[in-house]
Chains A and B, each alone.
Chain A
Amino acid sequence: MTKDKLQIDQKLYKILEGVSDPEIPVLSIMDMGVVRSAVIENDIVKIEITPTYSGCPAMDVIGDDIKRAMQKAGYIAEVDLILHPAWTTDWITPRGRKALEDYGIAAPLDEEADKSVLLEGKQLVKCPQCGSTNTKMISQFGSTACKAQFQCNDCQEPFDYFKCLK
């Protein structure tokens, strides 16, 4: 259940990059930081992934998608779910953050900013539609476990904010 070091076989990297989160299709699982290791042992690919949230229903789908992608590339893959170290939003790559923004989901701020945004209503979250920071939180919980609901006071668009998790 635990793993401290990131270990990715470069041959597998490209294949894994083609797999995305079914709930956020623009975000590759590599950019999301959920793949903790990918190695080839005796012709079998062994991959370890870690959930963003414990109950994230996307994890089972991601596991199946990885196996399918590996099969296409001629590998037999085993996928294991590990819990430690626990995933944090820091593992989303800069490219991943940009993909989120382009898709209309505000990327996570740091933990302190997150607290003040979610608790004190400070205006720091940027609207992914018009770029204004004049936004308000509608709900701490959103369309999936990893998001909160926001609305832009300027363009009035509601949008998802990817909650900071550390």
Chain B
Amino acid sequence: MKNKNLYNYILGIADNSLILGQRLGELCGHGPSLETDIACTNMSLDLLGQVRSYYQYAAKIAEDGRTEDDIAMLRKEREYFNVLLVEQPNTDFGYTMARQFLFDVYHFLMLTELEKSTDLNLSAIAKKSIKEVSYHKRFSSDWIKRLGDGTEESHSRIQTAINDLWTYTDELFHQTEADKVMVAEGVGVDVTKLKDAYYEEVNAILEEATLSVPESKYFQKGGKQGIHTEHMGYLLADLQYMQRTYPNMEW
């Protein structure tokens, strides 16, 4: 592979969307109401659509005969570079929305920068995706406000979810080796520079939702290096089942 850094960089972005898309897809037929069920699966569909563009591009760079499906479905756990946040389970609707919100704010900021990438493929994918992601962010922010400023029960549950997932937010702004090379080449986004804008926006919405901003400074990391939480193996078992059981099957 001539450009291993670009390949790894693309996976770093795409894997977040794949794994979050898989989590949202688990709600198909299981959402708390028809509308939220449809919304979550719609967002999943958007994310998986974006992922296809990234993996098709990655497959071209890999030059080893693998297709987008191979890249998506046939890697081992340690070869996925998604952040820990997106693999966290759908504990309840509060967790699902908190995870979505904490990712969407980052996703939107990241894509805004990726639009300016000197890599025309990446900037085209970013320009396409950001329109969809702005809908996701609107949806999840609305739910944070509704649940936070709702009943005592909904308030306490969304606060618990935010507190629990907070520990995974700092990782969003860690740079990998591939990141550093790609930023230097004008291809990649310097995620460290998104941090202030991220917390400013997140905190403002939490405040509007009458929720408190968690104070803990203890953060988890590892996903970007392929070291995942205990949930990842189960998620991949689900995701990869068909390709592992019936190799090379196509939809």
Q: A residues touching B (Cβ–Cβ < 8 Å)?
A: 1-2, 51, 53-57, 82-87, 118-119, 138-143, 145, 149, 163, 165-166
Asked whether, in the complex, the Cβ of A54 is within 8 Å of the Cβ of B43, the reply is: no
Q: List A contacts of B124 (CB < 8 A).
A: 1-2, 82-84, 86
The CA-CA distance from A77 to B188 in the complex, in Å, is: 36
Asked whether, in the complex, the Cβ of A54 is within 8 Å of the Cβ of B138, the reply is: no
Given contacts A138-B35, A139-B38, contact A84 B48 (CB under 8 A): no
Asked whether, in the complex, the Cβ of B131 is within 8 Å of the Cβ of A86, the reply is: yes
Given contacts A1-B121, A139-B39, A141-B139, contact A86 B128 (CB under 8 A): yes
Q: B residues touching A (Cβ–Cβ < 8 Å)?
A: 35-36, 38-39, 42-43, 45-50, 52-53, 57, 120-121, 123-125, 127-129, 131-132, 135, 138-139
Asked whether, in the complex, the Cβ of A54 is within 8 Å of the Cβ of B38, the reply is: no
Q: Which among A2, A55, A83 has the greatest number of chain B C-beta atoms within 10 A?
A: A55
Asked whether, in the complex, the Cβ of A54 is within 8 Å of the Cβ of B52, the reply is: yes
Given contacts A1-B121, A2-B124, A119-B138, contact A56 B49 (CB under 8 A): yes
Q: Which residue of B lies closest to A142 (CB)?
A: B38
Q: List A contacts of B36 (CB < 8 A).
A: 139
Q: List B contacts of A86 (CB < 8 A).
A: 124, 127-128, 131
Asked whether, in the complex, the Cβ of B39 is within 8 Å of the Cβ of A54, the reply is: no
Asked whether, in the complex, the Cβ of B46 is within 8 Å of the Cβ of A54, the reply is: yes
The minimal Cβ–Cβ distance linking A3 to chain B, given in whole angstroms, is 10
Asked whether, in the complex, the Cβ of A55 is within 8 Å of the Cβ of B45, the reply is: yes
Given contacts A54-B53, A55-B48, A56-B49, contact A141 B131 (CB under 8 A): no
